[in-house]
Amino acid sequence: MADTTRMSVAEIEEFAAGMLQAAGTSPDNAAPLAKAIAAAEREGIASHGLMYLPIYMEHVKCGKVSGTAVPGVTHPKPGTILVDAGTGFAHPAIAIGFAALVPAAQACGIAVLAVSNSYNCGVLGYHTEALAAEGLLGIGFTNSPASIAPAGGAKPVIGTNPMSVAAPDGAGGAALLIDQSASVVAKSEVMKRAREGEPIPLGWALDADGNPTEDADAALKGSMAPAAGYKGVGWGLLTELLAAVATGATLGIDASPFSGTKGGPPRTGQMFIAIDVATTSGGAFAERLSALTAAIGAQEGVRLPGAKRAAARARADAEGVAVPTAILDKARALLA
């Protein structure tokens, strides 16, 4: 078994921030990204935690992402906020956008944030949950480099294109958190298997000829399998429409990969919709949501979306997180 080092969530955040800054990221940009990395580790989503840190550092060093970008914010209409990430990290751009999105949604009842010229936003549910913490229903979309072929085809045209919905619990958290990609699994899971030399289950991806494969490397040269067949392709297209077409960001077919140094900045996009559901429901949102979640949770063997993350958080807070030392060493080596 690989050697591990047990770290607290605060230690993970501190380590990530230090590495990002050493690689050329400004403190203002490193802080929100490091916080999100630590949150991913806390929730047991290792594929978006420290495992991604060396990639972030490498991309800052090669210029694929600007570590010193200053996002530009405009507010053209009362319920519309636009942020140009300036080829920088998505996390500081989203954080700055949320500072305007939240009060706009509270004032208008609904508001939208469009982020363009951006980068990988990590765990999308991390961002929608921040809106739920403000008492808003948070809906998020992000596009990514093309990796899913249309139904019946073999050439990727859209990315795994996640969507997320977070419903407020009225106590600064999310009572329900849905976070899923348009593919059977996130592409990062296949990348993880490829790095570790492990096979993938049949049904996860297709090779370059459009055939099912268990070879992770062949899958990365082919396409990800859409969830629920053509329906998953439809959901991915919806996300592409909102996160790229409607924000003015780069389409997945033109975006450079989120891994490796090939290509320039991906310039992808994100869109977030925040709804004041206390107003739209006439004050009945909490009661209705409670009835819905109770009906789901009452069934044996059923888990509410987001419950697994909550359990992982409790474990991490009590025991820390076991981090592979190889990942820490890889990040340090990039500075040598």
Instruction: List residues with catalytic annotation.
Output: 47-48, 189
- Interatomic CA distance for residues 243 and 163, integer angstroms: 10
Q: What tokens were used for 153? A: 């085809």
**Nearest 5°: CA angle at 145, between 148 and 41?**
100
Residues 6+ apart with CB under 8 A from 253: 146, 156, 157, 158
- Interatomic CA distance for residues 54 and 330, integer angstroms: 7
Q: Is residue 273 helix, strand or coil?
A: strand
Q: What tokens were used for 43? A: 């929730």
Q: Which of 167, 127, 177, 108 is nearest to 286 (CA)?
A: 167
- Residue listed under structure tokens 């802080």: 31
Q: Which of 233, 151, 225 is nearest to 189 (CA)?
A: 225
C-beta separation of 155 from 149 below 8 A: yes
DSSP 113-175: EEEEEE---S-HHHHHHHHHTTTSEEEEEE--S--BPPTT--S--B----EEEEEE-SSSSEE
Within a 10 A sphere around the Cβ of 5, how many other Cβ atoms?
Answer: 14
C-beta separation of 26 from 85 below 8 A: no
Q: Which of 306, 21, 31 is nearest to 167 (CA)?
A: 306
Q: Name the CA dihedral angle for 153, 203, 42, 138, rounded to a multiple of 10 degrees.
A: 50
Q: Which amino acid is present at 145?
A: P
